Amino acid sequence: MNIFSIESSCDETAVAVVRDGRVMLSDCISSQVDIHKIYGGVVPEIASRKHIEAIYPLADQALATAGVTRADIDAVAVTYAPGLIGAVLVGVNFAKAAAFALGKPLIPVHHIRGHIAANYLSHPELEPPFLCLVVSGGHTMLVDVADYTKMTILGGTRDDAAGECFDKIARVLGMPYPGGAALDRMSQGGDPTKYPLPRAKVDGNPLDLSFSGLKTAAINLIHNANQKDEPVDIPSLCAAVSEAVSSALVSRTELALRQTGRKTLAVAGGVAANSRIRAQVTELAQRMGVRLCLPELRYCGDNAAMIGAQGYYEFLAGNVADMTLNAYATKSLVGESL
Ligand code: KG4
Ligand code: ZN
């Protein structure tokens, strides 16, 4: 089954063709990062306009790269939530028009479910159940993936996502948006113990996290040093931030593995590209004797292939929308939890 899939929830316009949820035939991305860089973050109105400009030629490119024609498409999948509303609506309306014109089913996909499904592309043998650590620019959560479309959020951040924490600290250090990857590169060779940074503990659910205190502490440290004209050892500060984020994620992941008894751990989302997090979850998986699935770097950040992968399983579960599908308007399709 060939699924034509669309992702436009933030600042990447993406169109892909995916076969049977596992084989990427094409995965085309038009990134807007260079435009939003100027403002230090995503400007929603600009994002929506750029999606409209990019999506039509990208769709043609995705079909051509896959070596298929419109007649070979069996269904259309699209990210319907969450995201910037104007941005999501561009993809949803394009997908609706495409599905209607082709006379094929329209499949709504939750963006986070898509990130999780990126692992099906990188690990063709991976099947639920498994535990997934989801770490992106907007979300940080531990998800129990009982089945392809049955997922429970076990815990998550109470405030900032891990990616938000990396990006805002990177911005104060003068790194261009989105600074997570630059901060990761800068941290290589730094001393993670040089700057003591807080590890937040939250009341209630032991699997919950908080990153806003870490973000504020790191930013205050930089501002205080600047005011006193003192130098900051930037590699060491970046290493300390990465270590604080990673250790918080790894300790919750270890607890969730013990609680659920799952024998497979997957990681998903843009922050899954982080070198320290990858190294530390690898060490955790070895220590606990669980199998680890990390997406290839190309499938960590936003892409449409992951939407096509999850779309296949949503289709098999009967989660097909009618042409009244609107962004955010189909919560019942994804169940209570995710
Ligand atoms: O999943 P994603 O592409 O978008 C959302 O759904 O939010 O994640 C983007 C996030 C950004 O915050 C970006 O800085 C971060 O992923 N990121 C990284 C790295 N590469 C991307 N954060 C830390 N280390 C990296 N190597
Ligand atoms: Zn994402």
40 CA distance to ligand 1 middle (Å): 15
- Average of per-residue pLDDT values in the chain: 95
pLDDT of residue 336: 46
* CB 170 within 8 Å of CB 179: yes
> What tens digit of pLDDT does each residue of 19-51 get?
999 999 999 999 999 999 999 899 999 999 999
How far does the centroid of ligand 1 lie from the alpha carbon of residue 322, in Å?
32
Rounded Cα–Cα distance for residues 169 and 258 (Å): 32
Residues paired with residue 321 on neighbouring β-strands, in sequence order: 106
Which residues have C-beta under 5 Å from ligand 2, the single-atom ion?
A: 136, 302
> From the CA atom positions of the chain, what is the Rg in Å?
20
Task: Give me ligand 1 centre to Cα 70, in Å.
Answer: 33
Count CB neighbours of 18 within 10 A. Answer: 30
Residue nearest to atom 7 of ligand 1 (CA): 137
Q: Which residues line ligand 1 (CB under 6 A)?
A: 10, 115, 136-138, 163, 166-167, 178, 180-181, 184, 269-271, 273-274, 301-302
- CATH C-level class of 125-297: alpha beta
Q: Compute, in angstroms, the gap from residue 229 CA to the centroid of ligand 2.
A: 38
Ligand in closest contact with the CA of 180: 1
pLDDT for 328 equals: 72
Topology alike, domains 2-117+299-316 and 125-297: yes
User: Are 54 and 30 spatial neighbours (Cβ–Cβ below 8 Å)?
Assistant: yes
Cβ contacts of 195 within 8 Å, gap of 6 or more: 218, 221, 233, 236, 237, 240
CA–centroid distance, 116 to ligand 2, in Å, is 10
What CATH fold (topology level) applies to the domain 2-117+299-316?
Answer: Nucleotidyltransferase; domain 5 (3.30.420)
Q: In the chain, which residues have pLDDT < 70?
A: 329-337
Residue nearest to atom 24 of ligand 1 (CA): 274
pLDDT in tens, 145-187: 999 999 999 999 999 999 999 999 999 999 999 999 999 999 9
Domain ranges of the chain: 2-117+299-316, 125-297
